[in-house]
Amino acid sequence: MVLAITLGVTALLYQPASADHYALRAIEHVAMEPESFTTVHLADVPSLDELIRTSGGRLKAPLGNVRYVKLCPVDGGTGWHIVFETPEGLATLLVIPGQPLGTTQHASSAEWSALARPTRRGYYAVVTRSAQKTSHVDQLIRKRIDWDA
């Protein structure tokens, strides 16, 4: 009887992550750090090449002018918050090692668009001001970073 009640309560309380959970979390994170677009913060951080390598990837070509790098708390651990210049304008790349993601996710809000994509050792998320820009920046990241290295 106790087992049945425990299983029943567990089933009621279990809320699986929505299909866009990590993409929405990326938007929330960027919205909570508006200074990342107005501040240059590069002190006491590893090079982008080293950061990508320790996250399971290999930087094949520069992403653009990196303006902001910070280790931030995220669901279940920490991740790198990177803001860089692209032909599409400023873009945010969140690199989250150690957090599995089954499939690519998309989300948007009134101000932001995000894409979260699985990697071998976790996932990364791209956040920009529009879905079109997010798609273009994601293509740039996929060309310049080998996540299967």
CATH of the domain at 43: 3.40.1000
Q: How far, in Å, CA of 116 to CA of 125, rounded?
A: 4
Task: Between 75 and 5, name the one with better pLDDT.
Answer: 75
Q: What pLDDT, on a 0 to 100 scale, did the predictor assign at position 148?
A: 84
Residues 46-51, mean pLDDT to the nearest whole number:
89
How many residues appear in the chain? 149
pLDDT tens-digit series, residues 75-102: 778 999 999 999 889 999 999 999 989 9
Number of domains in the chain: 1
Domain around 131:
18-146
Q: What pLDDT, on a 0 to 100 scale, did the predictor assign at position 42?
A: 80
Q: How far, in Å, CA of 129 to CA of 110, rounded?
A: 9
- Looking at the domain assignment, is residue 7 inside a domain? no
Q: 115: buried, middle or exposed (CB in 10 Å: 19+, 13-18, 0-12)?
A: buried
Q: What pLDDT, on a 0 to 100 scale, did the predictor assign at position 118?
A: 95
Mean of per-residue pLDDT scores for the chain: 86
The model's pTM is 0.85
Q: 77-86 and 89-97: which strand pairing? A: antiparallel
**Tell me, what amino acid is at 79?**
G
Q: What pLDDT, on a 0 to 100 scale, did the predictor assign at position 19?
A: 56
